[in-house]
Each structure stands twice: as structure tokens, then as C-alpha cells.
Structure 1
């Protein structure tokens, strides 16, 4: 991860908002032989007394399940929309083109949970992403036999976050004219490009005090 001050988001409230907006993460670690493993999972994010925790579930007897039993240290990678930025948009185009993106790395220790906690996770995940409990897709509408089969195939976990870092690379190192031109060009691009343009616009007054 980059450690350049101008690409860091100092406002922790914005970092937490980013986590909640992009909860489908890449969860990675290493097994007992130091071989890398990874899986993509949705997470429930909570905070109590300043301590961030994540909850989720994964399939049993996979390489990542076995690895996290052997080594509980994990990295949760949160990413959002990203886009190419052409050097032709700079005031001085004789430079390398680049990529703008936002990413948060959360490190922590993973603990596998008992079945009762898994059921709570399944109910909470479904309620959260369904937008409430009283929908046709609600957890409590599922047949008991289906739930019993399901919980044999998956396992719930909780991650206690021990370290969090971010890169919000949004052309903060560019001159003002180039910055505004990049925004204008991105507004004409894909949905991802337009998302990045909005993020850049929100930061204009912080970068250029007269803006």
C-alpha cells in the first residue's frame, strides 16, 4: 500500500463510511506453509468503544477455511470504483498516465464461531442487505430443513480489527488546472469514472483553498 501523505484520507468518519458503502471484500491470509489464500465475502461492520469488528461466514473445508484455522491473521481489502486517468489531461502531458481509486486495508484476527452465532450472522446479514426483516427474502421465511443443511456447509466468523490503513488516490498531487480537467474528463466517462469525479469534486476546497 502507498504511504504518501497526500493520498491518505485523514477523516476516520469518511473511512468508516467507505467500509459501509463497500462491504463485499477480499479476505486474504496465508496457510501453515505460508501459501496465500483469499475469498470474497460480504461483511457486517460494527464499532463499539472505538473497536471495529467484522462478521461474516464462509464455506467449510475450503483452502481459506483451513488456512484461517491454522493462521488467524487476515487482511480485509475494501475497494470501490476506480478509473484510468490519462496524462493527456494534465497541464503538462509529458508524464505517465495513472489510475485513480479508493482502497482500505483492515488487518485483524479471525475467530470462528459456534452455530448459534452463525445463525445470528445469517439473520443480520439478510436483514441488512434486504433492507429489513419483513421481506420475501427474509431469513426467518426460510424452511427449517434448508437452514439445517446450510449451517452444516458454512461457518461464521468474527474479525477484531487491529490495524487499518487507506489509499484514496484522487489526483491530489496535481496542479489545480489539471485537477479540474481530470474531473471534467471523468464526468464524460463510465459510471466508475463519474463516481471518482464526484469524490474529487468534494475535495476541491480542501486542496485549493480559494476554490
Structure 2
């Protein structure tokens, strides 16, 4: 991830808000053979005592969970909307085209949880994404045997983040007329210009 001042958020809270708004992450690690592994999963972000923590669960005994158990240093990648930006939309059309996007790379240490922790993560994740703890799909409405049987196949974990880096590349380096034209074209092709131009 590269670092240019004009492609940065205005505050840490803006970065955390982006992470919360894009909870389906790519989680990367390194296995015992120094080979990369990755998986894709939804997370819940919590702030506790000044730390940022990600909560999630994954299937047991997969290449990624085995790798995370061997090496607890992981990288969580958060991605937002992205789009090709053609230089043909600029006033000066004879320059390089580019790509606008938002991404966060969050490094941390993964810690696997026991069955009690797994159950708590299931409740938290379900309630969060259902939007209420009164949903008919809430864990408290599920059959206990069904829950116990499914818990045998998955493991929960939390990741205490140690470093958060980001790029919010949204044409901040372009003239106002160019940004207005980029926003117009993106809107016309059905993309959210508010997410892709600043």
C-alpha cells in the first residue's frame, strides 16, 4: 500500500467508519511453508479500551485456519467501491488514466476463542447483521442441538489490530472541473460518485 498525503482520510474515525461499512474482508496469513493463504468472511469491529478488535468465525481445519494457528500475524483487507477513471473525461485528455478506490489494510494478531467465545461471537454477529436481537433468525430462536452441531465445524477468533493503513484515492489531485466531470460520468453509468470522488 502506497502513501500519498492527498489520498488519505481526514481522521482515524473516518477510516474506522469505512471499515464498519465494509465488513466483508479478505483475511490473509502465511502458512508453515511460508506460502500465502487467504479467506473471505464478515467481521464485526469493536473498540475496547483504546484497541480496535475484529470478531469473526471460520470453518475449522481449513488451510487458512491452520495457517492462522501456526502464525497469528494476519492482514485484514477492507475494500470499497472502485472504478476506472478515464483521462478522456479530463480537460487535458493526454495524461494517464487511473483507478479510484478505497482500501484499508489492517494488521493484527489473531487469537482463537473457546466454545463460550464462539457462541458469543455467533450471537453478536447475527444480531448485528440482522439489525436486531429479536429477529426470528436470532441465535436465541435456534434449536440448541442445531447450534451445538454447527459449532463443531467452526471456530471463532478475535484480531487485535496493531496497525491500520489506508488509501482513499478519489481524484483529490484533480482540478475541480475534472472532478465534476468524473462524478457526472460515474453517475451516468450507475456508480455512486459520492463514494468515488472527493
TM-score category, normalised to shorter length: over 0.9
Distance 2:62 2:25 in 1: 17
Normalising to structure 2: TM-score of the pair? 0.96
Distance 1:87 1:94 in 2: 7
Runs (5+) with no aligned partner, structure 2: none
The question of 1:25 aligning with 2:25 is answered yes
- Which of 167, 173, 195 is the aligned partner of 1:199? 195
Aligned pair in 2 of structure 1 residues 200, 36: CA closer, same or farther (>3 Å)?
Answer: closer
- The root-mean-square deviation of aligned C-alpha atoms, in Å, is 1.1
- 5 Å-filtered alignment, 1:128-147, equals 128-147=128-147
1:50 shift after superposition: 2.1
More divergent stretch after superposition (115-124 vs 90-99): 90-99
1:177 is paired with a residue whose SS is helix
1:102 shift after superposition: 0.5
CA deviation string 1:47-97 (max 9, x = no partner): 123210011101000000110010000000011111111110111111121
Distance 1:48 1:139 in 2: 24
1:128 shift after superposition: 0.5
2:34 is paired with a residue whose SS is coil
Alignment check: 8 A CA contact 2:100 2:196 kept = no
Aligned to 1:187: 187
Aligned pair in 2 of structure 1 residues 97, 160: CA closer, same or farther (>3 Å)?
Answer: same
More divergent stretch after superposition (59-68 vs 138-147): 138-147
1:32 shift after superposition: 1.4
CA deviation string 1:15-50 (max 9, x = no partner): 111011001100011111110100011111111232
Runs (5+) with no aligned partner, structure 1: 204-211
Aligned to 2:126: 126
The question of 1:169 aligning with 2:165 is answered no
Alignment check: 8 A CA contact 2:81 2:196 kept = no
1:102 is paired with a residue whose SS is strand
Aligned to 2:9: 9
1:95 is paired with a residue whose SS is coil
- 5 Å-filtered alignment, 1:10-159, equals 10-159=10-159
1:10 shift after superposition: 3.3
Distance 2:176 2:44 in 1: 39
Distance 1:112 1:200 in 2: 36
Distance 1:106 1:57 in 2: 17
Normalising to structure 1: TM-score of the pair? 0.91
Distance 2:142 2:46 in 1: 26
